[in-house]
Structure 1
């Protein structure tokens, strides 16, 4: 099945070049399903459709594309940043970008990026849950976690935090062990939403009862009982503080 692709680019000639390269060399694997020329338009497209792969410029009409990642909970697609500037590379990979391509985009580098996406997609299909897999379940306050050996039943209260790793989630437990599960962070958020968990950042899900302190900053930082520091997205700061103060 082809990957649905979204292009976020405010310069038509850059979009047209990328589209030409994709249609000429990767039409069997990738289908362009949308084009957004601004961040608000991109957010609307995210909410109305599903994309497997996103090409995103960083500087869009004077706004920073990383705002999208603060606004949305993005786990189910790969993002490839396209930009004329190399100064954002470290920040791009910090948010788990699949690749970072400098304009003008070369056919060879684009192919390498597409190959990474297809390889990751294949591995996810081979190692992950099949389409239509059942939702994660909570039974008697224990979450049912699928593993390669079968199932593990973990009390929700024993989870300190969950961290996104592409289409996988790493679960950190109070006994200092961790599990890597082939399910997205969004799925864990849905399963644990009634068990005192909050989403301070697109990459993290945190047990409220394990929050030790909040340190001020642009969005701020949560200090957990295991001394882990978790960034709070600036757009979620007020909501997170309100929840913390009410529990």
Structure 2
């Protein structure tokens, strides 16, 4: 019998998967369910499962961050994902299994059978995840989960021009000029974006490098984004930012 934990922020998805496992995978026993990375960490350490069914995108932290916090990982992971072409390549390359939402029963059964065979080898799964960690950031679509009006909103970072922070709020300016504001909560969105192609132009302001169309070095200096959107540069780090942007252009990157 394989002990399993399900971690998914969507209650309906979590319950559906549990019912499918009970009905079609008799060798799997669901010992616990969690709705976040924090809960998942606690449950994994408590139950030491054989399998973790892990949603990729969850509020505050994603499934990969959970695995990165478990250096002595000794269980198999079956990712639950709404992604398709991007995720498939990454998971296959790393010999890691996944199930696309909505869950297909046949795929679920095959994934469990694969885990059963892998567990017989007694090979630590940790090595298989290293390649995934090294490549997944570039393969998966750029998305961010933020609190929004009592729920959570998935933000496509490719459509973000600028982010501004003020006290306890984030304001996103999107392609086309629309904006929306959300509470910062305990999210560290700024550091997250700095790892995903954004640059700080002044305190509390980040712009998407992929949306930079021109650098105006005259006058007080501005960055011109897609749609002729102008962003001023802080006098204290203007030269540093301009130099950084020019190096990117010279390197042939799409900024």
TM-score, L = length of structure 2: 0.46
TM-score, L = length of structure 1: 0.47
Between structure 1 and structure 2, the one with the greater Rg is 2
